[in-house]
């Protein structure tokens, strides 16, 4: 079968680990040139080496996408470096410490909001400005069960992912006439390195005891590749009728 993303350029944030790394490998195997961004230089280079060893193309940029400069630089790596941008995958994200609102520290709130919500906005802003003038494109936002439900994580993470869902729907409606689609994936529990972003000593045990009841009905843990398959589908023209959607990839968790 011919490669379904041949000639396309795809920006993926958080491409050094978990779902971002799995998406980079899968979309590169379909012929896309991957522009992979992350703060973790070592892991990012390891993923790029794997992609290249498999015959794919991946360009890397080490930087913090929670700053305007970092976000714009990653998009410019595609638009200026490669001369095109077809797909933006807003994947990078960090956890909070499962704090209910009574325990939220301002510093944690602002950090989670800047990585999980400001960055997808800033990247989408730069991407849409370019896509509007160049025939459209697709944006895939990696949201979470915490983007629609209240019991998956703390107040900051939950608010940030609900924000991502809102950003997704708004972007989908505003730029449909320009041929830009924007969808969000409601991701269930996936085996990745995201727990490294939790400060174990600060976990809010009282709130966690409540969230644990909802965690308890998770039908199962997913693998990063399971989500990469959804990222791929939402990147392809085959999903052209899907816009502004929240696509659940959670093994049925949200059905509970
Ligand atoms: N793992 C899960 O169970 C789960 C569930 C639902 C949603 N998600 C979401 O999936 C997405 C991917 O997470 P993952 O589970 O693969 O985690 P991960 O920690 O394995 O990978 C996330 C990557 O993002 C990078 N990153 C973090 N902050 C960054 C910044 N400011 N600039 C650039 N890169 C940055 C990290 O270095 C890391 O490589 C996140 O948005 C997360 O919220 C994860």
Taking Cα atoms as reference points, which of 137, 143, 203, 219 lies closest to residue 172?
Answer: 137
The atom of ligand 1 lying closest to the CA of 193 is 20
Residue 254 lies in a domain: no
- Indicate if the pLDDT at residue 91 is higher than 70: yes
Tens digit of each residue's pLDDT (9 = 90 or more) over 26-59: 999 999 999 999 999 999 999 999 999 999 999 9
Residue 213 lies in a domain: yes
Dihedral pair phi/psi, residue 14, rounded to 5°: 65, 40
Residue 1 lies in a domain: no
Residue 145 lies in a domain: yes
Contact criterion met (CB below 8 Å) for 180 and 141? no
Pick the range with the lowest mean pLDDT from 65-69, 119-123, 212-216.
212-216
Signed CA dihedral, 223, 85, 14, 25: sign only: positive
- Cα(196) to centroid of ligand 1, in Å? 10
Total domains present in the chain: 1
Residue 80 lies in a domain: yes
| 91 pocket-lining for ligand 1 (C-beta < 6 Å) | yes
| 189 pocket-lining for ligand 1 (C-beta < 6 Å) | yes
Is the pTM value of this prediction over 0.95? yes
Split at pLDDT 50, 70, 90, the class of 249 is very high
Which residue lies with its CA nearest to atom 25 of ligand 1? Answer: 14
Mean of pLDDT values over 70-98 = 98
- Indicate if the pLDDT at residue 134 is higher than 90: yes
Token match 């939950």: residue? Answer: 158
| 190 pocket-lining for ligand 1 (C-beta < 6 Å) | yes
Tallying the residues shown for the chain, one arrives at 256
Beta partners for 137?
A: 180
- Indicate if the pLDDT at residue 1 is higher than 70: no
The atom of ligand 1 lying closest to the CA of 115 is 31
Whole-number Å distance between alpha carbons of 233 and 247: 11
- Cα(1) to centroid of ligand 1, in Å? 31
Q: Which H or E element spans position 142?
A: strand 137-142
| 187 pocket-lining for ligand 1 (C-beta < 6 Å) | yes
The atom of ligand 1 lying closest to the CA of 190 is 3
What is the overall mean pLDDT for the chain? 97
Residue 20 lies in a domain: yes
By residue range, what is the domain housing residue 48? Answer: 9-249
pLDDT for 170 equals: 99
| 38 pocket-lining for ligand 1 (C-beta < 6 Å) | yes
* CATH code (residue 119): 3.40.50.720
Residue 256 lies in a domain: no
| 24 pocket-lining for ligand 1 (C-beta < 6 Å) | no
Which residue lies with its CA nearest to atom 23 of ligand 1? Answer: 14
For a pocket test of ligand 1, which of 12, 15, 16, 18 has the largest count of ligand atoms closer than 8 A to its C-beta? Answer: 18
Tens digit of each residue's pLDDT (9 = 90 or more) over 165-201: 999 999 999 999 999 999 999 999 999 999 999 999 9
Task: Kindly list the catalytic residues.
Answer: 157
| 46 pocket-lining for ligand 1 (C-beta < 6 Å) | no
Residue 65 lies in a domain: yes
- Cα(139) to centroid of ligand 1, in Å? 17
């Amino acid at each position: 079968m011919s490669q379904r993303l041949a000639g396309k350029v795809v920006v993926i944030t958080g491409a050094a680990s978990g779902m971002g790394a799995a998406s980079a490998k899968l979309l590169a195997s379909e012929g896309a040139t991957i522009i992979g961004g992350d703060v973790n230089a070592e892991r990012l280079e390891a993923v790029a080496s794997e992609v290249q060893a498999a015959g794919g193309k991946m360009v890397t940029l080490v930087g913090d996408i929670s700053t305007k400069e970092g976000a714009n630089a990653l998009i410019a790596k595609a638009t200026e470096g490669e001369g095109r941008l077809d797909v933006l995958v807003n994947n990078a994200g960090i956890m909070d410490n499962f704090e209910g609102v009574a325990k939220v520290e301002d510093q944690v709130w602002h950090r989670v909001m800047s990585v999980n919500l400001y960055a997808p906005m800033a990247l989408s802003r730069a991407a849409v400005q370019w896509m509007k003038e160049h025939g459209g494109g697709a944006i895939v936002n990696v949201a979470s069960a915490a983007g629609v439900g209240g019991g998956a994580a703390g107040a900051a993470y939950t608010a940030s992912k609900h924000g991502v869902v809102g950003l997704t729907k708004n972007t989908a409606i505003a730029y449909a006439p320009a041929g830009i689609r924007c969808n969000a994936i409601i991701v269930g529990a996936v085996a990745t390195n995201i727990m490294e972003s939790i400060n174990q000593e600060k976990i809010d045990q009282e709130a966690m005891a409540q969230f644990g009841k909802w965690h308890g009905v998770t039908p199962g843990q997913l693998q990063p590749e399971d989500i990469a398959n959804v990222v791929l589908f939402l990147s392809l023209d085959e999903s052209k009728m899907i816009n502004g959607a929240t696509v659940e990839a959670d093994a049925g968790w949200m059905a509970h």
